[in-house]
Amino acid sequence: MGEYGMISSAILDWEVSKNPHPHKQFEIQKILSLATIYIDQGVTITSRASALCALGFQSYDALHLASAEESAANCFLTTDDKLLKLAAKHSVDIKVPVMNPVQWIWNQMT
């Protein structure tokens, strides 16, 4: 297995801040503090997210994907089946593979 790191972003920070449970916010922030790369939301990400929305991605998903692309992530992990299906449909249009975490782990082991 290769070395991997976690990426965090301004959109993740914003999304976590909207969690109504302070304890859960704290726990998620602890996990995100392990990230080795942080992506601020800027014009490039906002513009790319708009293009992804035009493909049918929801605005938050588009911002997360645009952040992953900006960071040159090896992959984007999600358990959202709708997002996984849409990403598979548009795999040639997005710059980062989108996978279920279980699928990703399986691929790393084989």
Which pLDDT tens digit goes with each residue over 34-87? Answer: 999 999 989 999 999 999 999 999 999 999 999 999 999 999 999 999 999 999
Over 90: is that where the pLDDT of 5 sits?
A: no
Domains of the chain: 7-109 (3.40.50.1010)
| Rounded CA separation 72/80 (Å) | 21
- What is the chain's mean pLDDT, rounded? 93
Task: Please measure the distance between the N-terminal and C-terminal CA atoms of the chain and give it in whole angstroms.
Answer: 10
pLDDT at 105 over 60: yes
Q: How confident is the model at residue 95 (pLDDT cuts 50, 70, 90)?
A: very high
Q: Looking at beta carbons, which pairs linking 78-87 to residues 24 or more positions away fall under 8 Å?
A: 83/57, 83/58, 86/55, 86/56, 86/57
User: In this model, does residue 93 exceed pLDDT 50?
Assistant: yes
Confidence check: pLDDT of 3 > 50: yes
Predicted confidence at residue 48, as pLDDT, reads: 97
3-state secondary structure 53-75: HHCCCCHHHHHHHHHHHHCCCCC
Would the pLDDT of 110 be above 90?
no
Q: What are phi and psi of 64, to 5 degrees?
A: -65, -45
